[in-house]
């Protein structure tokens, strides 16, 4: 069983071909550089760039895999949530190939791509507790099976990756902010500034990062003669301390809410063994180390995708496509790309697929 997966929901144009043995036969990825000057992803620029590059990315994939398009069994594409112009480009490319090759099309929820990514390189079995942390999403979920999720909590404002990006922008560190903050934080003192932990006492699994970001802004303002962040003159050590404190506090908020979620998970899903992290922010080594500790303290096995499969990539879409295809969860060719698509709302399935009609 061989599946091609296409990813184009944000600023990575990517594709990969995987088989059921978890072998990556071919992959290609282009990170769009055009957004750097804007401090964030510009949707229209992203969509045009996906359109320009998608064909050659798919072609490179087949070349690396040294197989013909006829050899694949299904074509998957991230079909939402995401920047809709880009999502449409990937979905149209996948549907066109599916029609031309007479193979099934599999609409993959981009978040399901992140959610199942840890299963490519680790033996993670269902059910597992998942922290999904990216630029657009920050959720705690139970992954019960392919297509079956229980969402325990979510951010009520900024996603944690978004907070990393916004803090980095305030500090003049460019986009994406996460890797830059992580690097600078290495030489910082994480106890220098006390930052707020919004929602941390609330009796649910929700998170909030907006107040934390504002508190960092207030600190940066004190380094500016006129309060304008662009005029802030921050000595290198202070910069490192701010980054370290932000990273430490954001991680602590995630860990504290996860601790609560672990209690629920263990009670409701006594067979569950794994705590998994995924999404772009899961590349953060400090966060990974804290989650490892949390898992150890609670007798869970910690699993995370290799760092290159945390940020957006084609392999996770191809793999999620394969997991769906294996269950016969293919999608109708009139599937409409979805700008919003919570993981606990299932994709319509092609008539006869998995016993469910569209």
Write out the residues near ligand KG4 by the rule CB under 6 A.
10, 134-136, 161-162, 164-165, 176-179, 182, 279-281, 283-284, 311-312
**Contacting residue, 7, 11, 312, 323, with Zn ion by CB under 5 A:** 312
Q: Which of 247, 235, 255 is nearest to 190 (CA)?
A: 247
d(CA 15, CA 76): 10
Region from 91-99, 268-276, 312-320, 332-340 binding Zn ion, contact rule CB under 5 A: 312-320
Question: Using an 8 Å Cβ cutoff, are 192 and 244 in contact?
Answer: yes
End-to-end CA distance of the chain: give it in Å, rounded. Answer: 24
Residue (95 or 288) nearer to ligand KG4, CB: 288
81 binds, among ligand KG4, Zn ion, none (CB under 5 to 8 A by kind): none
| Separation CA 50–CA 89 (nearest Å) | 7
Supply 251's token pair: 């991680």
Element (H, E) at 6: strand 2-7
Closest CB 160 distance from ligand KG4, rounded Å: 8
CA distances to 44, 154, 170 from 140, rounded to whole Å, are 31, 6, 28
Closer CB to ligand KG4, 12 or 272, in the complex: 12
Q: Which stretch binds Zn ion (CB under 5 A): 26-34, 48-56, 131-139, 198-206?
A: 131-139
Smallest distance, Å, CB 182 to ligand KG4?
4
Considering only CA atoms, which of 157, 160, 135, 130 is closest in space to residue 253?
160
Q: How far is CA 44 from the centre of its chain?
A: 21
Residue 109 in contact with Zn ion, rule: CB under 5 A: no
The answer to whether 134 contacts Zn ion (rule: CB under 5 A) is yes
Toward Zn ion, which CB reaches closer, 188 or 314?
314
What is the closest distance, in whole angstroms, from the C-beta atom of residue 316 to ligand KG4 in the complex? Answer: 9
CA distance 236 to 141: 38
d(C-alpha 141, C-alpha 21), whole Å: 26
Judged by CB under 5 A, which stretch of 45-53, 89-97, 132-140, 318-326 contacts Zn ion?
Answer: 132-140
Residue 165 interacts, among ligand KG4, Zn ion, none and using kind-specific CB cut-offs from 5 to 8 Å, with ligand KG4
Instruction: State the minimum distance, in angstroms, from the CB of residue 12 to ligand KG4.
Output: 7
β-pairing verdict for 105-108 and 74-78: parallel
Q: Quickly tell me which residue has 């699993």 as its tokens.
A: 303
Of the candidate spans 68-76, 129-137, 166-174, 200-208, the one that interacts with Zn ion by CB under 5 A turns out to be 129-137
Closest CA to 14 of 337, 339, 312: 312
- The residue (of 65 and 159) whose beta carbon lies closer to ligand KG4 is 159
User: Smallest distance, Å, CB 116 to ligand KG4?
Assistant: 14
In the numeric block, which tokens belong to residue 215? 């508190």
Shorter beta-carbon distance to ligand KG4: residue 127 or 176: 176
Q: Which residues bind Zn ion (CB under 5 A)?
A: 134, 312
């Amino acid at each position: 069983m061989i599946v091609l997966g296409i990813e184009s929901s944000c600023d990575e144009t990517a594709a990969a071909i995987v088989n059921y043995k978890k072998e990556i036969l071919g992959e290609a990825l282009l990170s769009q550089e055009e957004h750097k000057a804007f401090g964030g992803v510009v949707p229209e620029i992203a969509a045009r760039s996906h359109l320009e590059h998608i064909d050659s990315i798919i072609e490179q994939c087949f070349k690396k895999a040294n197989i013909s398009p006829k050899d694949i069994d299904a074509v998957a594409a991230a079909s939402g949530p995401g920047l809709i112009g880009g999502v449409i480009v990937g979905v149209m490319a996948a549907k066109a190939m599916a029609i031309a090759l007479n193979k099934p099309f599999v609409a993959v929820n981009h978040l399901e791509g992140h959610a199942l990514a840890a299963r490519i390189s680790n033996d993670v079995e269902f059910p597992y507790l998942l922290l999904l942390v990216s630029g657009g999403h920050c959720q705690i979920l139970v992954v019960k099976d392919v297509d079956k999720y229980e969402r325990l909590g979510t951010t009520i404002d900024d996603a944690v990756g978004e907070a990393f990006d916004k803090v980095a922008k305030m500090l003049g560190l460019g986009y994406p902010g996460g890797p830059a903050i992580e690097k600078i934080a290495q030489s910082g003192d994480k106890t220098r500034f006390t930052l707020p932990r919004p929602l941390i006492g609330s009796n649910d699994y929700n998170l909030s990062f907006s107040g934390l970001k504002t508190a960092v802004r207030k600190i940066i303002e004190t380094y500016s003669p006129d309060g304008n962040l662009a005029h802030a003159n921050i000595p290198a050590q202070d910069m490192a301390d701010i980054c370290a404190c932000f990273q430490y506090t954001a991680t602590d908020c995630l860990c504290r809410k996860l601790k609560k979620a672990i209690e629920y998970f263990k009670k409701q899903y006594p067979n569950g063994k794994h705590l998994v992290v995924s999404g772009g922010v899961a590349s953060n080594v400090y966060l990974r180390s804290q989650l490892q500790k949390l898992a150890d303290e609670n007798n869970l096995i910690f699993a995370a995708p290799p760092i290159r499969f945390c940020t957006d990539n084609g392999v996770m879409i191809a793999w999620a496509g394969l997991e769906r295809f294996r269950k016969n969860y293919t999608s109708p060719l009139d599937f409409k790309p979805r700008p919003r698509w919570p993981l606990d709302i299932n994709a319509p399935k092609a008539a006869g697929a998995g016993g469910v009609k569209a």
